[in-house]
Chain A
Amino acid sequence: MTHTNGADHMHATDPNTSDGPHAGPSLDPELNLRLKQPRGGVPGRIVALVVALAVIVSFTLAWMLKPSGAAGGVTRQDSVAIGLNLAPTNLDIRSTAGTALDQLLIGNVYEGLLSRNEQNEAVPGLAKSWDVSADGTQYTFALNTGVKFSNGDAMDADDVVWSINELVKHQYHDANQLKFFKSVSAPDSHTVTITLSQPYAQLPWALTTRAGLVFDKDASYNYRTKAIGTGPYVITSFIPNDSVSLTANKHYWNIVQPQTPHITIKYFTDDNAAVNALSSGSIQVLSPITASLAAPFRDNDHYVVRAGDGTDKYVLAMNNAPGQPTANKDVREAIRYAIDTKQLIAARGGADSALGGPIPSLDPGYEDLTGLYPHDVAKARSLLARAGYTKDHPLKLTLTYSNTYGTEIGNQLRSQLKQANIDLTVHVVEFSTWLQQVYTDKNYQLSLVDHNESHDFASSWANPDYYFNYHNQRVQELTEQALSSTSAEESDKLLAQAARIVSEDAAADWLFNYRITTAMDAGVSGFPTVMNQIHMPLVNVVYVK
């Protein structure tokens, strides 16, 4: 049947139906059957509503009547679960980059010749003490006795020498920390001597990084799936990108023994999932947690929220290469004046601290440089006018950064720079794109990165090949002198001088020093809150409930 036929049929038989769009049904019984009839489904809906309400009410009641934890005596728990963010893909700390491994393994499974304290200074580790020769080129380390690896092998000077030689030979990760390295030897089984080609004041700190880790010379195992070290814990299970189980090492040598026999580490990529895990009690510690997300825990007596210092520097990199608009110092200064870093910190929840230069407070050479470029839009405008940019002819710049930092900070920078006659285009890209385009090809104008490495001044600002394209003879000389100084004090002073020059040059803008916020159950103690994204010793963690 076609439309035409149907219409003709009706007109022919019943002219009364043609008086409007709301005409009655057709006379054709087949058509009538196919008409949609209004259904009387009201009782069905009410039943559904009642059922839904009943379910909601019963769940709410069940939740409210749930026993709220044991009130009486507290007991020390046998296990603690810790929620972290960045997961390691394998356990090979020698050749896999990424701070997730440093965080997990150093101080827990592997130990270094030296260790570090909460002030980010070198302290005794496997070596109980060390001496420096008068000319600063020879370091002698006295090792602790009775140290055993988790497989029962004894640790002696040969293991240390082997580990350092392997590191240098294969150029494993962090091998570049051992600057001016010449040789390492073992005069006896409990003494190690490192000889340098010239003095290097930061060698002790360098040995607290992966460069100082001691591995078992006699053990042969797959470093990607197993870890045999001298640390307080052994890894009993490792699920890449998900979780790690740590169990106390029964061969641990130190007087300070691991306080909790079992520690589970869970990795969360989703902030909300992590927060839910903490509030439901499936983890007892969450670090890092976004400052804004931590607010409900801060108001709750069952939880403790702490912000700890770190060495994360949020750097707004400006391409200093000739030909770029940011090669002009007026432009770079204008950008620094135009950005209100206090507002950025406030928007993030106020936990971070202001940072005026390339060296954060936990690194040698720190000096408070936040006063150099205070927020001053008028000054920014006049500097830009001098460089030839006005309201009608604004400076057009492109900011390229990785999507791991979110779109908010880009929007804020665009809004702030607009007031100083800078039109910012923001490209938020995949990390791999950023790595290629900005870091490797140096093809960018502005970029934004969290440089979280400690002691990285020399490798970034005194290195003209780095992606900042910052080339300053004086800074390089000062840094060179600082590194080869025999006195730590003088070294710090020289670094501070160099850092001041970099900051005065407005070589970049340092937006803030990110401080890690940790939220934990009030019963947890001994969890490190300072620098815990790169160094998280768990030996003292206790959980009472």
Chain B
Amino acid sequence: MTNRSRSVYARKRSPWRSIGIVMRSVWARGTGKFSLIVLAIWLVVSLVSLFWTPHSLWATDGYHVWSSPSRAHWLGTDGTGADIASWLMAGAGVDLLIAVLTVVVALAIGLLLTACMVARSTVLSRGSVVLIDALISIPTILVALMLAVPFGASVGVIVAACGLSYGLNMARVCRPQALRVANSSFVESARHSGVGAWRVFMRHVVPNIRSVMMVQLSLSAGTAVLAEAGLTYLGVGVPSGVPSWGHSLATSAKFITVYPLTVVWIGGCVTIAVIALNLLGDALRDASDPLTNPALRQVDYGA
């Protein structure tokens, strides 16, 4: 880095440059590499499944149910004679959508609640802590069941239930760190310079709780995939006819003693995807924290 460029960065924030550094250092770790590769495959398969699957999802063949893997059916067929590989591909898309939407909802809810908990108003901060502690005790599955009664089983119900629960969790975990920042002297000085509360929160609090958030959100994404599988297995997840990993699991788990292979495929998909998401969270945290990633300290954020 030359002095000239350094002076440019000194004056300007450089989010793209730091994202590049973070991604490169994630890639440099073994676990990070694994999760980036898995997520890339997941994304590509999901996109492909929108336009093409080896067989139509709706082609069933009652005379060839539970067939073993063959050239025509790479992973064999399920209990209706439909192609397992096609259903897994299409399910990958739906599960990716659920994971992304859950993260977005959890992030929105989590930030809002964190903001409430570190608010200057004692009523708001104390009240929200009590409220969150109370709400956090309601299991995700119960929320999903309650939502599924009026709205029926749908992707929206899973996203809402998971997003709410994980948002609450994130807020609760972020609170100590956020509180420390909110009470720090630089926040105080910003406040005294007349910066608004919301702006202080976004400019000072959020960047400082970013690494905690990242770990929480990547865990949420992983848990959302597991929750989808579990809820669909119970019949309150995605509706019949929507391909998803939970759907594939529910139809094959009944016959695990007779056709164990069908459960292995889907179980492998879910496990690898969830491991990748969880490892990505760890790698991201390490890579994005200037304390643990020296390369990041080369980037000047400016004042």
Enumerate chain A interface residues (CB-CB to B < 8 A).
2-4, 6-8, 10-11, 17-26, 31, 34-36, 271-272, 275-276, 290, 292-293, 295-296, 340, 342-347, 403, 406-408, 410-412, 414-416, 418, 425-430
Chain B residues near A (Cβ < 8 Å): 1, 6, 21, 24-25, 28, 58-63, 65-66, 78-82, 152, 186, 235, 239-241, 247, 250-251, 253-259, 286, 290-292, 294-295, 297-303
Closest chain-A Cβ to B142's Cβ sits at a distance in Å of 16
Are A346's CB and B301's CB within 8 A? no
> In the complex, how many angstroms separate the beta carbon of A34 from the nearest chain B beta carbon?
6
Q: Which residues of A contact B291 (CB under 8 A)?
A: 31, 34
Q: Decide if B80 touches A408 in the complex (CB within 8 Å).
A: yes
Contact, CB under 8 Å: A24 / B240: no
Residues of B within 8 A of A36 (CB): 286, 292
Give CA–CA (A23, B290) in the complex, Å.
13
Which chain A residues border B299 with CB–CB below 8 Å?
Answer: 7
Docked CA distance A276–B257 (Å): 9
Per CB-CB distance, the 7 closest pairs between chain A and chain B, nearest first, are A343-B62, A347-B62, A21-B295, A415-B60, A428-B240, A407-B240, A346-B62
**Smallest Cβ-Cβ distance to B87: which chain A residue:** A411
B21/A7 in contact, CB under 8 A: no
Closest Cβ–Cβ distance, residue A40 to chain B (whole Å):
15
B81-A428 in contact (CB<8A) = no
Q: Is the CB of B62 within 8 A of A20?
A: no
A408 CA to B294 CA in the complex, in Å?
55
18 intermolecular pairs with C-beta atoms under 8 Å apart: A2-B186, A20-B295, A21-B295, A36-B292, A275-B257, A290-B254, A292-B66, A293-B255, A293-B258, A343-B62, A343-B63, A346-B63, A346-B65, A408-B251, A411-B60, A411-B82, A412-B62, A426-B241
Cβ-defined contact, A347 with B294, below 8 A? no
B278 → chain A, closest Cβ, in Å? 17
For the complex, what is the distance from the CA of A275 to the CA of B286, rounded to whole Å?
48
Evaluate contact between B258 and A427: CB separation under 8 angstroms: no
Chain B neighbourhood of A411, CB < 8 A = 58, 60, 80, 82, 240-241
Asked whether, in the complex, the Cβ of A4 is within 8 Å of the Cβ of B301, the reply is yes
- Complex CA gap A24/B240 in Å reads 55
- Minimum CB–CB distance from B250 to chain A (whole Å) comes to 7
Check B62–A340 contact: CB distance below 8 A: yes
Which residues of chain B are within 8 angstroms of A296 by Cβ–Cβ distance?
257-258
**Contact status of A412 and B21, CB under 8 A, knowing A346-B63, A407-B247:** no
B145 to chain A, nearest CB (A): 10
Known: A22-B295, A343-B62, A425-B241. 20 other contacts (CB 8 A): A4-B303, A7-B300, A7-B301, A18-B1, A19-B1, A20-B295, A21-B24, A25-B294, A26-B294, A31-B291, A272-B257, A292-B259, A293-B255, A407-B240, A411-B58, A411-B241, A414-B58, A415-B59, A427-B239, A428-B239
- A6 lies within 8 A of B298 (CB): no
- Our pick among B21, B253, B290, B295 for the contact of A3 (Cβ within 8 Å) is B290
- In the assembly, what is the distance between CA of A371 and CA of B295, in Å? 78
Q: How far is the CA of A342 from the CA of B302 in the complex (A)?
A: 74
Q: B257's contact among A25, A293, A345, A418, by CB below 8 Å, is which? A: A293
Q: Which residues of B have CB within 8 Å of A408?
A: 78-80, 251
When distances are taken between beta carbons in the complex, the residues of chain A under 8 Å from B303 are: 4
Q: CB distance B298 to A7 under 8 Å?
A: yes
Q: What is the CA–CA distance of A426 and B241 in the complex, to the nearest angstrom?
A: 7
Asked if A427 contacts B257 (CB within 8 A), the reply is no
Which of B6, B58, B251, B303 has most chain A Cβ within 10 Å?
A: B58
Across-interface contacts of A429 in B (CB, < 8 A): 152
CB distance from B243 to the nearest CB of A (A): 10
